[in-house]
Amino acid sequence: MAACGGGGDNSTSIADAPSPAATPVIDLSSATCHNAADLIEGTELTVETVATDNGVTRPPTSSAFTTGPRVASGGAYPVSIKQTFVDRPTSSLTTYKDAIDGNVLTYGLASSDSATGFTFVSTLQPPSAAPIVLQPGQVYSSTYEQKSTNTLGTGSTEQTATIQYEVTYVGREAYAGPLGSFDTCKFSSKTTTTTAAAPLAPSVTFTAAIEIWVAAEGPYRGQLLKSRTPPQNDSLSESTTVATKMTYSPAAGPR
């Protein structure tokens, strides 16, 4: 401070107050519940599940998933994911998928049983598309035609169905189960299937609903932890399936 009558010039500067810290942006989208490794050749998953139907708990079942090479399917070149079953070692189910432009596309599937010679091949036109990034409450829907061929021995049958698929990303939800406690993405879906009329069979329409919880974090990120099928189609039955054991070995690549 300058003394009264003095010739000195002493000024004081005051710095601007610091800007308030930016509020952290919390991403509650479904993005982290997609694991890109699932579509990389060499990724392996084994899982044991236990189902409870209308209060009755069933024996556990186990299956293994292996992501294989790209193959021609539905006019494209998607990744093949083969599922095998411990309790049905002669059976397998292969699904054909790819991630393109922010969507996971499903082109079709094929199943077979080497013990019986039965095969089932299905293609989807157009491929069903599931957005990777959804915000809580966001809904997406798709309609596609499923063409299937069942073969057993020298005989085969073909069937065409129109499928309307509607999915709601409910949002994040805390989950605690046999594998531990995780933040999850909860989805609910409704599928309406209408089979085409055949010479001896009329067209049939039925609707199925399901809720699923997918790990958003931890060693099982992107994997299904629980599913619930509520009572529907005039049935009072309710079914819940929970993953009780899991081993996930992602292949090297982007996550």
Residue 47: domain span: 31-249
Residue 23 belongs to some domain of the structure: no
Instruction: For residue 63, count other CB atoms closer than 10 A to its CB.
Output: 18
Q: Which residue has the tokens 């044991």?
A: 48
- Tell me how far apart the alpha carbons of residues 216 and 134 are, in angstroms, rounded to a whole number: 13
For residue 175, give the CATH number of its domain. 2.40.360
pLDDT at 166 over 60: yes
- Asked if residue 141 is part of any domain, the answer here is yes
Least confidently predicted of 44-58, 108-122, 143-157, 222-236: 222-236
Q: Tell me, yes or no, whether 2 lies in a domain.
A: no
Question: Distance between CA 244 and CA 125 in Å, rounded?
Answer: 35
Q: Is residue 7 part of a domain?
A: no
The answer as to whether 25 is a domain residue is no
Q: How many domains does the chain have?
A: 1
Distant-in-sequence, close-in-space partners of 17: CB < 8 Å, separation ≥ 6:
none
Residue 216 lies in a domain: yes
pLDDT, position 4: 47
Q: Averaged over 34-50, what is the pLDDT? A: 97
Confidence class for position 21, pLDDT limits 50, 70, 90: low
Q: Is residue 26 part of a domain?
A: no
The model carries a pTM of 0.85
